[in-house]
Amino acid sequence: MKFNPADNIQDLQYFGEFGGVNPSISDSSTYTFLSAKTMFDTFEGNAEGCYLYSRHSSPSNLYLDKALAAMEGTASANVSASGMGAITPVLLQLCSSGDHIVSSRTIYGGTYAFLKNFTPRFGIKTSFVDITKLDIVEAAITPQTKVLYCETVSNPLLEVADIAGLSKIAKRHNLKLVVDNTFSPLSVAPAKMGADIVIHSLTKYINGSSDTVGGVTCASQEFINDLKNVNSGASMLLGPTMDSLRSASVMKNMRTLHIRMKQHSHNALFLAEKFEKDGLKTVYPGLKSHPSHELYKSMINPEYGFGGMMTIDVGSLDKANELMELMQERNLGYLAVSLGFYKTLFSAPGTSTSSEIPLEEQEAMGLTDGLIRFSIGLDNDIQRTYDMMKQCMTELNVLHSLEKTNS
Ligand code: PLP
């Protein structure tokens, strides 16, 4: 049967304590044991179904874990208090002093800063490469390399990682392929293409209401057990645990993810096609002009489309700022970082979410000053939104000044 993540989520069945249609929320940090022996066994990791302490896990978190594992097609999952609370323990679990990571150079700025500035303190080095060039990726691997790290669709440049190709390289060199799938939930199932570990910032599409931060690691039961091990697990010992009240709320939002993703993708494709026709430099994986369009088309589940993220380049930071301020004034969206909200969000990544990346490296990867990253919202009438955005661009002379810069 074809793997459909939304059906897998739908097929889960939960009941609350009194037959409620939502599972009961576990409002406890600690749990009683009927016998002291069971408590000991639980610490040793041998008491299936027993809860120990909520930093380790809670019944509410396990419900959400199950739904996310079903979505990614992995045996298990572990939710965390933020996306970074998933990424950092995974990398610290996999790497020790002297180890090496090969990472895409276009990744979320926080992950980049962690690999560039933080992990070297523990003797872990990272080489940043153009992830779209498999020969360059393979050439960067050394005998010390333990991890290949990438985002399915990268933040903010929307480069596409060939997950099946990267998985072959990872297997050849005995590396773990870790994929951040935050931009493409449901559309892409990296574990089904050979990724070993799939991470999400739940803060974005999966929760979808911009009211919390959250994260998840989806992987084999063995790796999730390692992360939660009371003696040596990076998640257990660093403590980035999601609160039970929050995981219950994320799970309720997740039930509409499939409907939301379809609308985000529909709206983003509509706008990207219009903007490109208008002469704006537009990057969207659903456009034929995207360098990895054909590859991405072969990777996605077409039901959920090419996603809700797109960028345009308006030539300069001043123009980008002017345009974003005017669009916010006209209530076309918010000048804010993050993504996956019902309202369109826009920001200039060079001065916000990617500001951790030094300017010369931003330039080398093509992260230009005038770039605006859009997380396209759930607007009901996207033609109306387009007309209003076009009006803003006309008033600010965006297209005209672009023609001048290009000539
Ligand atoms: N991964 C990606 C692709 C992101 O865009 C972000 C946040 O912007 C993160 C990870 C980090 O997630 P969080 O902010 O939930 O810690």
Give me the pLDDT at residue 79, please: 98
Hey, what CATH topology would domain 5-254 get? Aspartate Aminotransferase; domain 2 (3.40.640)
Distance 127 CA to ligand 1 centre (A): 20
Query: Ligand 1 within 6 A of 82 CB?
Result: yes
Distance 152 CA to ligand 1 centre (A): 13
Percent of the chain with pLDDT over 90: 86
Nearest to 172 by CA among 194, 153, 203: 194
Nearest to 278 by CA among 169, 98, 402, 381: 402
Distance 227 CA to ligand 1 centre (A): 20
Q: Which atom of ligand 1 is nearest to the CA of 214?
A: 15
Give me the pLDDT at residue 181, please: 98
Query: Ligand 1 within 6 A of 180 CB?
Result: yes
The more confidently predicted of residues 15 and 400 is 15
Can you tell me the mean pLDDT for 327-335? 98
Query: Ligand 1 within 6 A of 151 CB?
Result: yes
Give me the pLDDT at residue 48, please: 72
Query: Ligand 1 within 6 A of 88 CB?
Result: no
Asked if the model's pLDDT at residue 1 lies above 80, the reply is: no
Distance (Å) of CA 13 to CA 10, 21, 60, 216, 255: 8, 9, 14, 21, 12
Give me the pLDDT at residue 406, please: 60
Domain boundaries, the chain: 5-254, 257-406
Give me the pLDDT at residue 378, please: 98
Percent of the chain with pLDDT over 70: 98
Give me the pLDDT at residue 404, please: 64
Query: Ligand 1 within 6 A of 108 CB?
Result: yes
Query: Ligand 1 within 6 A of 203 CB?
Result: yes
Can you tell me the mean pLDDT for 200-210? 98
Q: Which atom of ligand 1 is nearest to the CA of 85?
A: 16
Hey, what CATH topology would domain 257-406 get? Aspartate Aminotransferase, domain 1 (3.90.1150)
Q: What is the pLDDT of residues 221-248, one digit of tens each?
A: 999 999 999 999 999 999 999 999 999 9
Give me the pLDDT at residue 359, please: 83
Asked if the model's pLDDT at residue 102 lies above 70, the reply is: yes
- Average pLDDT of the chain, as a whole number: 94
Query: Which residue do the tokens 């739940």 mark?
Result: 202
Query: Ligand 1 within 6 A of 155 CB?
Result: yes
Q: Which atom of ligand 1 is nearest to the CA of 84?
A: 16
Can you tell me the mean pLDDT for 357-363? 82
Q: Which atom of ligand 1 is nearest to the CA of 107?
A: 3
Which residue lies with its CA nearest to atom 14 of ligand 1? Answer: 83
Contacts of 279 (CB under 8 A, 6+ apart): 399, 402, 403
Q: What is the pLDDT of residues 293-308, one digit of tens each?
A: 999 999 999 999 999 9
N-terminal to C-terminal alpha carbon distance within the chain: 54
Which residue lies with its CA nearest to atom 15 of ligand 1? Answer: 83
Distance 32 CA to ligand 1 centre (A): 36
Pairing, β 145-151 against β 100-104 = parallel
Q: What is the pLDDT of residues 56-69, one digit of tens each?
A: 999 999 999 999 99
Torsional sign, CA 297, 312, 152, 172: positive
For residue 2, what are its two tokens?
């074809």
Distance 83 CA to ligand 1 centre (A): 5
Give me the pLDDT at residue 399, please: 82
Give me the pLDDT at residue 223, please: 98
DSSP β-bridge partners for residue 282? 312
Give me the pLDDT at residue 3, please: 87
Give me the pLDDT at residue 49, please: 74
Q: What is the pLDDT of residues 105-121, one digit of tens each?
A: 999 999 999 999 999 99
How many angstroms separate the CA atoms of 53 and 229, rounded? 12
Asked if the model's pLDDT at residue 343 lies above 90, the reply is: yes
Q: Which atom of ligand 1 is nearest to the CA of 203?
A: 15
Q: What is the pLDDT of residues 16-52, one digit of tens each?
A: 999 999 999 999 999 998 898 888 888 877 667 778 8
Q: Which atom of ligand 1 is nearest to the CA of 337?
A: 8
Query: Ligand 1 within 6 A of 184 CB?
Result: no
407 falls in which pLDDT band (50, 70, 90)? Answer: low
Distance 86 CA to ligand 1 centre (A): 10
How many angstroms separate the CA atoms of 407 and 402, rounded? 9
Give me the pLDDT at residue 219, please: 98
Which residue lies with its CA nearest to atom 4 of ligand 1? Answer: 108
Can you tell me the mean pLDDT for 129-146? 98
Which residue lies with its CA nearest to atom 11 of ligand 1? Answer: 83
Query: Ligand 1 within 6 A of 84 CB?
Result: yes
